[in-house]
């Protein structure tokens, strides 16, 4: 029998002064949490749940051991900026990562940008619209997609990396192959985005560690070509949490600096609609892992399932709704197709947050 504990924020507030200072800033974001639950599991089953506020935190957590106290510390951890080439990506507000698929078969925009001129124009438009990072992918990871030979993947992504580097963009390379990452970094990429959490290619951790580039580690149940295989969960939230905890620890043991690791719960990868909804509603929990959070649910199948099976190019409203939920959970990076609209939503969201932080009308004088 194995026991585990997780510390989950269960209530947020617009500003710490609204709770007379009894709130913590989640992951250095603009989101403040005031109520929490310490959840104890035995073999994956919840056996105890202890709700508490900031004042009772130490009293509640001390009997639960070092892991509970470590997670509490992580919840309030302020993350250093990501240095991507000459660009410094601060993580004290949500940053927008624009998707550039240079593939013929991606679920949403396959074939739209695999020609250099079209891809270059789209990348430039995303940068102009306010994308902090351009995420370039040369392999579709939609359910049922065939794996791509690494030579073909390089042929797709390297020209895109070069023209994005030429416009001064911060570049993330969405690949699970070490040789593709090596070539991409040499061509001007700055960050790895590995949807297999470095399990697909055993050399990936070595390449990331030696290069010193940041890496995003994503949850997916499949270890081989099919990332969606094996998506059966007893408790999807706790299982994804544990997966990311172990992936993070393995990366650190492999020599990857802790401040260069980003975690992604993998919305849509080997997960049912109910699984995805549970993970999205539990996003604040993942701050207790101690790394910045990346959320990518743009145009995904779950939006269609909740909106009359709309096609991928008609899922903007749902994508914005999920992006806003992610921001309300303190997500540091939101990966999207529709950059202009999401940046506008982020800017309005940021304005509302700033106004709440400077509003002291509810504080007694």
Rounded Cα–Cα distance for residues 311 and 349 (Å):
27
Instruction: Return the number of other C-beta atoms located less than 10 Å from residue 146's C-beta.
Output: 10
State the catalytic residue, choosing from 300, 301, 346, 353: 300
d(CA 32, CA 20): 12
Range 100-104, long-range pairs (CB < 8 A, 24+ positions): 100/126, 100/134, 100/135, 100/136, 100/137, 100/160, 100/164, 101/137, 101/140, 102/136, 102/137, 102/138, 102/156, 102/157, 102/159, 102/160, 103/137, 103/138, 103/139, 103/140, 103/148, 103/156
Helix (H) or strand (E) holding 244: helix 236-253
Question: If residue 4 lies in a helix (H) or strand (E), which one and from where to where?
Answer: strand 3-13
Q: How far is CA 13 from the centre of its chain?
A: 22
> Which of 145, 210, 138 lies closest to 176 in space, CA to CA?
138
Active site residue 118: no
353 counts as catalytic = no
Strand 3-13 versus strand 32-42 pairing type: antiparallel
In the set 142, 248, 335, 346, the catalytic residue is 335
Give the span between the Cα atoms of 309 and 268, in whole angstroms: 15
CA distances from 286 to 84, 181, 250, 276, 320 (A): 24, 27, 17, 14, 21
Report the length, in residues, of the chain: 365
Alpha helical stretches, state H, 79-203: 116-129, 150-166, 178-187
Residues 297 and 322 sit within 8 Å (Cβ to Cβ): yes
Beta strands in 14-105 (DSSP E): 24-25, 32-42, 45-53, 82-84, 87-89, 95-101
Catalytic residues: 300, 335
């Amino acid at each position: 029998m194995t026991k585990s504990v997780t510390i989950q924020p269960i209530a947020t507030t617009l500003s710490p002064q609204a709770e007379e200072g009894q709130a913590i800033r989640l992951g250095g974001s603009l989101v403040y949490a005031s109520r929490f639950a310490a959840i104890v599991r035995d073999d994956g089953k919840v056996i105890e749940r202890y709700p508490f506020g900031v004042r009772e935190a130490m009293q509640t957590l001390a009997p639960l051991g070092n892991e509970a106290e470590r997670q509490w510390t992580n919840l309030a951890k302020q993350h250093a900026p990501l240095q991507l080439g000459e660009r410094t990506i601060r993580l004290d507000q949500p940053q927008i990562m624009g998707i550039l698929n240079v593939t013929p078969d991606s679920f949403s925009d396959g074939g739209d940008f695999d020609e250099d001129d079209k891809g270059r124009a789209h990348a430039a438009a995303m940068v102009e619209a306010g994308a902090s990072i351009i995420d370039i992918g040369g392999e579709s990871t939609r359910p049922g997609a065939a794996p791509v030979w690494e030579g073909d993947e390089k042929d797709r992504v390297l020209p895109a990396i070069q023209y994005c580097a030429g416009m001064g963009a911060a570049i993330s390379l969405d690949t699970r192959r070490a040789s593709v990452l090596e070539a991409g970094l040499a061509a001007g990429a700055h960050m790895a985005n590995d949807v297999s959490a470095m399990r697909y290619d055993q050399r990936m951790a070595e390449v990331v560690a030696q290069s010193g580039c940041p890496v995003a580690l994503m949850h997916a149940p499949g270890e081989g070509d099919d990332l969606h295989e094996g998506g059966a969960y007893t408790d999807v939230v706790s299982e994804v949490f544990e997966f990311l905890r172990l992936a993070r620890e393995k990366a650190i043991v492999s020599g990857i600096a802790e401040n260069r690791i980003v975690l992604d719960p993998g919305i849509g990868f080997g997960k049912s609609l109910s699984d995805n909804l549970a993970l999205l509603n539990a996003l604040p929990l993942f701050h207790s892992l101690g790394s910045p959070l990346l959320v990518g649910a743009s145009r995904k199948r779950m939006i269609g399932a909740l909106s009359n099976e709309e096609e991928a190019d008609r899922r903007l409203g749902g994508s914005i709704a999920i992006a806003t939920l992610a921001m309300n959970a303190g997500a540091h990076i939101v990966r999207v197709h529709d950059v202009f609209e999401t940046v506008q939503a982020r800017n309005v969201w940021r304005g509302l947050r700033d106004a709440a932080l400077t509003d002291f009308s509810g504080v007694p004088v």
